[in-house]
């Protein structure tokens, strides 16, 4: 387990964060990835981790993610500075925090964020309110015509993207474990006159099959930007996605590329490129204590702790295949909807890319279809 404690604020992040909220450059979840990884560069932090593998099989869903001892940031930095790649640190630090309460902790964090995101410093919903909600360019290009489709939007937050899909003629069920998010989504749907096409369900992702008793009844499952990083068990997530798809139905997934999560501005390379931060195959939870919000720079969260997981691309694709889906396409993008690293520059599509050449993928998207 990694534990990250924010110890000071940084104007750079707050500028970027405000930017996220104002122009829809990214969805809420994406920014969290930056908070847990890339932004570490901007802050002196304490980072700890337990190098063991996270969870075992079906224990994931009920989420006993017990973590053992941890190492601090000095040990991690020292390892990255001196190691040729072998001998990852494996615990034995002084932080003995258990991660058994990850779900309650994350839910409290999200419940609080909803109020912030709907407040004066929060999201700009003017396009949605004008009847023309927009997704990021990456999803827009890949989405296709959704008219008449039944779409299950997992981890829908307060429904901005769900309602955008409903505005385009889809029948949407949005699911999220945050009471505040679902309450707000229902209110927004009513305000926009979309209740006939958008329904919202409050439930944990792993309880979705019971909460939405409609197996094999969706044309599309839609999951974007910073959703799967909140989930400890990606294989079980994949089975839940498959459970809801009609035969012939497909998953649309767009997420931060796990390869990019290896890097961070915390230990920058010469020239400003991000340096190494965390091992690609690290499956342990990362725990962040960060009172900031990524949309409203003035907000300070009382429920600051968050638990996140990284999922290697092979785990995501392999999990979907094991769940019975066929991969239709997988795109790797050298752009991402938020300023994940300080050196990224914004382009005309309002996405962020590398300043000179596309060093590494920053995002991926895929479509996987049920036979």
Ligand X SMILES: C[S@@+](CC[C@H](N)C(=O)[O-])C[C@H]1O[C@@H](n2cnc3c(N)ncnc32)[C@H](O)[C@@H]1O
SS3 category, 130: coil
Q: What is the DSSP string of 326-355?
A: EEEEEEEESEESS--STT-EE-TTS-EE-S
**Token pair 């063991």 in the structure block, residue:** 52
Site string for ligand X, 257-296 (x = CB under 6 A): ----------------------------------------
Please say whether the beta carbons of 40 and 277 come within 8 A.
yes
Q: Which of 230, 244, 277, 307 binds ligand X (CB under 6 A)?
A: 230
Q: What is the DSSP string of 250-274?
A: EEEEEEE-TTGGGEETTSPPTTS--
Q: Which of 226, 258, 274, 279 binds ligand X (CB under 6 A)?
A: 226
Of 21-29, 38-46, 277-285, 339-347, the window that binds ligand X (rule: CB under 6 A) is 21-29
The secondary element (H helix, E strand) that includes residue 200 is: strand 198-202
To the nearest 10°, the Cα dihedral for 177, 178, 182, 185?
-120
Decide if residue 367 touches ligand X (CB under 6 A).
Answer: no
Question: Which residue of the chain is nearest ligand X when measured via CB?
Answer: 29
Q: Which of 21, 28, 258, 361 binds ligand X (CB under 6 A)?
A: 28
Site string for ligand X, 56-95 (x = CB under 6 A): ----------------------------------------
CB of 179 to ligand X, least distance (A): 9
Site string for ligand X, 158-197 (x = CB under 6 A): --xx--------------xxx--x----------------
Site size toward ligand X (CB under 6 A) is 23
Decide if residue 137 touches ligand X (CB under 6 A).
Answer: no
SS3 category, 325: strand
Can you read off the two tokens belonging to residue 173?
């069920």
Q: Which of 61, 156, 163, 317 binds ligand X (CB under 6 A)?
A: 156
CB of 208 to ligand X, least distance (A): 8
State whether the Cα torsion 68-72-75-80 is positive or negative: positive
**Token pair 């604020």 in the structure block, residue:** 9
Give the residue among 316, 338, 312, 304 at the shortest CA–CA distance from 3.
Answer: 304
CB of 88 to ligand X, least distance (A): 27
Q: Which of 227, 241, 256, 304 binds ligand X (CB under 6 A)?
A: 227
SS3 category, 207: helix
Interaction site with ligand X (CB under 6 A)? 27-29, 32, 103, 106, 110, 155-157, 160-161, 176-178, 181, 204-205, 224-227, 230
């Amino acid at each position: 387990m990694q534990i990250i404690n924010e110890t000071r604020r940084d104007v750079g992040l707050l500028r970027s964060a405000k930017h996220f909220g104002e122009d829809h450059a990214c969805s809420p979840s994406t920014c969290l990835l930056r908070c847990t990884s890339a932004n570490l560069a901007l802050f002196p932090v304490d980072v700890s981790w337990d190098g063991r593998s996270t969870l075992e099989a079906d224990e994931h869903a009920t989420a006993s993610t017990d973590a053992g001892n941890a190492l601090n940031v000095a040990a991690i930095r020292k390892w990255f500075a001196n190691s040729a790649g072998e001998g990852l640190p494996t615990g034995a630090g002084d932080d003995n925090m258990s991660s058994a309460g990850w779900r309650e902790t994350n839910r409290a964090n999200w419940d609080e964020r909803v109020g912030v995101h709907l407040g004066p410093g929060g999201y700009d919903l003017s396009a949605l309110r004008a009847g023309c909600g927009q997704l990021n360019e990456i999803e827009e290009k890949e989405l296709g015509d959704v008219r008449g489709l039944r779409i299950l939007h997992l981890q829908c937050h307060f429904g901005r993207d769900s309602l955008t899909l409903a505005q385009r003629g889809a029948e949407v069920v949005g699911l999220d474990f945050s009471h505040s998010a679902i309450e707000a989504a229902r209110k927004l749907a009513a305000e926009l006159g979309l209740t006939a096409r958008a329904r919202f369900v409050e439930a944990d992702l792993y309880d979705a099959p019971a909460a939405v008793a409609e197996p094999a009844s969706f044309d599309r499952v839609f999951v974007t930007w910073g959703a799967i990083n909140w989930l400890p068990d990606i294989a079980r997530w994949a089975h839940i996605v498959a459970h809801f798809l009609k035969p012939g139905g497909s998953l649309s997934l767009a997420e931060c590329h796990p390869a990019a999560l290896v890097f961070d501005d915390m230990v920058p390379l010469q020239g400003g490129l991000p340096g190494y931060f965390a091992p690609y195959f690290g499956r342990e939870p990362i725990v962040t204590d960060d009172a900031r919000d990524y949309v409203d720079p003035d907000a300070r969260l009382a429920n600051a702790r968050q638990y996140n997981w990284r999922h290697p691309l092979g785990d995501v694709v392999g999990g979907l295949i094991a769940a019975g889906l066929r991969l239709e396409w997988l795109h790797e993008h050298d752009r991402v909807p938020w300023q994940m690293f300080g050196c990224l520059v914004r382009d005309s599509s309002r996405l962020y890319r590398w300043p000179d050449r596309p060093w590494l993928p920053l995002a991926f998207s895929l479509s996987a279809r049920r036979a």
